Amino acid sequence: MQNKPGQSIVEMALLLPVMLIVLFGIIEFGYLIFAYSMVSQAARNGAEAAAQLPPYESWLQLRNNPPANYPGFTADACVRGIMEAIRSDIVLFDGSGNEGRRIEDYVIIRYPNGGQTRNLNDRGPIEIEINYPVRSITPLFDLIGLQDGTLNLRVVQRRSIENLGVDPRNPRGVACARNVADWQEMQVLMQP
C-alpha cells in the first residue's frame, strides 16, 4: 500500500490526543505519589511529636472558637513543636508552591477518644489529620472534570501518648498550656 499525501497528518491528529493523555497521566501520577508520600511523612512526623508533646484538648478547641486575647494556635509550645515537626521534611508544600498553600493550615490535631485520655495511664491516642488540596501540574485534572484541577490528599496518623510535654526550662515543668490564661501565666514565669 502506498502512502497518500496527508496520511501522516491524519494519523498524528488521531493519535496525539491519546498520547498526550497518557503522557499527562504518567506525569500527574508520579507527582501525586510524590505529594502523597510527602503529606504522609509530614503527618507521621507530627504524630511522633504529638506523642511526646500532647497539647490539651481545651487549647485545641480554641482554634475554631478563638477568644479576643487569643495569641494564635501555634503560641502553645506543644502545638508549635508539632507544627515544626510537620514542616521538617516538607520541600514541596512550604507555601512557595501549590498556589501558596501552607501545609500547617490543613492540619487537625485531635484526641479520637476524647481529651480525658491525655494521661500516662490510658495513653490515649492522639491523631494528626492532614487534608491537603494538591493542584495538578498538567491539564489532566481539568480534562477529566475535577473541580478546579485540585485533588485532596487525606492522611491520618495516630500514636499513643508517650509523654505529657515536660519542659525543664519552665518553672512549672510543663510545656503545654490549657488555655489563654494558662499560656499568659507561663509567659510571665519564663521571663528572666
pLDDT digits (tens, 9 = 90+) for 44-95: 999 999 999 999 999 999 998 888 888 999 999 999 999 999 998 787 766 6
Q: Which pTM was predicted?
A: 0.84
Q: Is residue 2 part of a domain?
A: no
Domain-located, residue 1: no
Q: 25 lies in a domain?
A: yes
Indicate whether 162 belongs to any domain.
yes
Q: 97 falls in which pLDDT band (50, 70, 90)?
A: low
Residue 1 has pLDDT above 60, yes or no: no
Domain count within the chain? 1
Q: Which domain holds residue 126?
A: 7-190
pLDDT value, residue 94: 64
State residue 106's pLDDT score.
Answer: 92
Amino acid occupying residue 13: A
Spatial separation of the C-alpha atoms in residues 143 and 134, rounded to whole Å: 16
Taking 90 as the threshold, does the pLDDT of residue 109 lie above it? yes
Q: Residue 87 domain-assigned? A: yes
Give the Cα separation of 187 and 173 in Å (integer): 13
Look at residues 84, 100, 88 and name the one whose alpha carbon lies nearest to residue 132. 100
List of residues 6+ apart from 64 with CB closer than 8 A: none
